[in-house]
Amino acid sequence: MLEMLLMQYEDQFGEAFPLADLQEKSEIEVINILYDCVQNNTPYEAGMEVLENRFGDAPGMSK
């Protein structure tokens, strides 16, 4: 999923997603941000957060 979204982001916005800027985030958080960017046609901005988890049954999400 992550790789697919990274490729789609680059195709859509003409630049690579700044994955290195999100090293402190979990993979599912990065996926949610990427998904939100692609779905809403909005490039990533520093500090961007997605409050809604679109993949609630992803591994590691149960608390």
Give pairs for 30-39: CB < 8 Å, separation 24+.
30/2, 31/1, 31/2, 31/5, 31/55, 31/58, 34/2, 34/5, 34/6, 34/9, 35/5, 37/9, 37/13, 38/5, 38/8, 38/9, 38/12
Residue-level pLDDT at 7: 96
**Whether pLDDT at 59 is above 70:** no
**Is-contact 34 7, C-beta < 8 A?**
no
pLDDT tens-digit map of 24-55: 999 989 999 999 999 999 999 999 988 888 77
Per-residue pLDDT at 60 exceeds 60: no
